[in-house]
Structures are given as structure tokens and as C-alpha cells.
Structure 1
Amino acid sequence: MTSAGENWVAGYVEAWRSNDPERIGALFGENARYFSSPDSEPRVGRDAIVDGWLEDFDEPGTWTFRWRILREDAGWLVVQGYTAYPAERDYLNLWIVQLDDEGRAEEFTEWYMPRTHVPESSPPAP
């Protein structure tokens, strides 16, 4: 059985691949907060999140992403990811996500660290 967290992350990856505003918006609650880094001001509200995403999107086909859920408990997710941008550099990712009762993010915070090579312990593809 697929968890709410697995569904949410898979939906996020599909939205990332498509940059479709409806897919992006479906991931987040009406008043969600999206932190693109822990010390940034969040994008607040679904519309602001969609607008911010589309202002700073990745072109389809320019990246790959592998992930695994490290912890899922009471609507909270901790996700480890690895993003490869072959034309640029790679990143290790850590996401903290709080889901509402409908499986949409109420809060999303991401951390990322640039890497110059694929780490041996990077998450497997789902």
C-alpha cells in the first residue's frame, strides 16, 4: 500500500517534470507555506507557491531525481533526495513536509547541498 507521503512525493516529481500549474497547485493547501531554504521568507498560499515555482522552474529533461522517505509519521515527512543536473552539478536534498488530511502540503521546507559526484549512499530510484 502506498503511503500519503509516497503519493505526495511522486506527485511533486510529476509536477516538477511538467511545470503544470494545476499539478503544482494540487500539491499544496490553500494557505501552505513553501520555504525554498530554511532561512528564506516562505511563499505563502497556493497561488504564490505556483507563481514562484513557475518563475524559477527547471526545464523538463535537464535533471533526474532519486528519493526515499526517511520518516513518515502523523502527517510529517522527511525525504532524502538526490538531484542530478548533468549540464551543471548535483545536489543532495532534504525535505521536511507537513501534510493536511487531504494529503496536500501545509508546509514544505527544503535544504540542498551542491555535490560534484554521485554519492554511493544516494537514494535509489523509487
Structure 2
Amino acid sequence: MSSLDAVTAWVANYRKAWESNDPHDIGDLFADDAAYFTEPYAEPWLGRDKIVENWLKIRDVPGSTTFEWHPMLVTEDLAIIEATTTYPDKTYSNLWVLRLDNLGQARQFTEWWMRHPTEG
């Protein structure tokens, strides 16, 4: 189930989890059997517990990023989100493919990200 309201709530909760690194905040984003692809062709993190575990291994320092996003497409079972993540020394363009269940948790989440070239 995807609606703009559900997607907006999920992204807000994702950002909350990103800033808190709290295992409960992270886990609440994902269905029990969710698949999280950190890159389109990477082996996915399978299941909520594995997602939380792996997220915490590569967590960002709270307050170290800014994040802007907008939905590109929202259908009944799919959302495509375009975003920009800025760190103090680098910026990334992101494309997220998100599939939510009826509870508003991600069943599948795939990140496509590209680092912006540095100016010389």
C-alpha cells in the first residue's frame, strides 16, 4: 500500500531513524521479512533484524547530513523518491525504490546513489 501520505510518513521516520540510530526506530521502518538493497545489485539485507544490524554497522553520525527529497512517482504498490544527501565534504544524489505493506512498513527498499563530482 502506497499513498503520498504513507510515503511521506515513511521518509520522515527514515530520517528520524537516520538521526537517532535507535534500533527500534530503524526496525519500525521495515516489515519482518523486508529486503533492503543498499545498491541495486548488492546482496540484500533480509529481514528486520539483519537490516537493523547492518544499518548500525555503517551508521552516520547524527547531525552530519542534510537531506532533501521529493516523490517522483507514487502508485498503489510502489514509490520512487529522488533525494539529495549532503555531508560536510561530499554530496550524493539518491533514487529510492520503495514498496510499502498495508502497515506502512517497507517490504522492499532499494537505494541508487551517485556521488557528485568534486570541484577542483
- The alignment's TM-score, normalised by the length of structure 1, stands at 0.88
3-state SS, counterpart of residue 97 of structure 1: strand
Q: What are the Cα deviations for residues 23-79 of structure 1, in whole angstroms up to 9, with x where unaligned? A: 100000000000000110000000000000000000011111100111111131100
Structure 2: tracts of 5 or more residues without a match: none
Correspondence list, 1:100-115, <5 A = 100-115=101-116
The runs of 5 or more residues in structure 1 that have no matched partner are 118-126
The answer for the alignment partner of 2:37 in structure 1 is 35
Q: Which has the higher contact order (CA 8 A, sep 6+)?
A: 2
Aligned length: 115
1:109 partner amino acid: T
Q: Which runs of 4+ in 1 moved over 3 A?
A: none
Matched with 2:85 is: 83
Q: Secondary structure at the match of 2:43?
A: coil
SS in structure 2 of the partner of residue 14 of structure 1: helix
Secondary structure at 1:3 match in 2: helix
Tell me the TM-score normalised to structure 2 length: 0.92
Question: What SS does structure 1 have at the residue aligned with 2:107?
Answer: strand
Match of residue 59, structure 1, among 37, 61, 66 = 61
Q: Identity rate of aligned residues, in percent?
A: 43
- Give the whole-Å Cα distance in 1 for the aligned partners of 2:19 and 2:77: 25
Q: 1:73 is aligned with what amino acid?
A: T
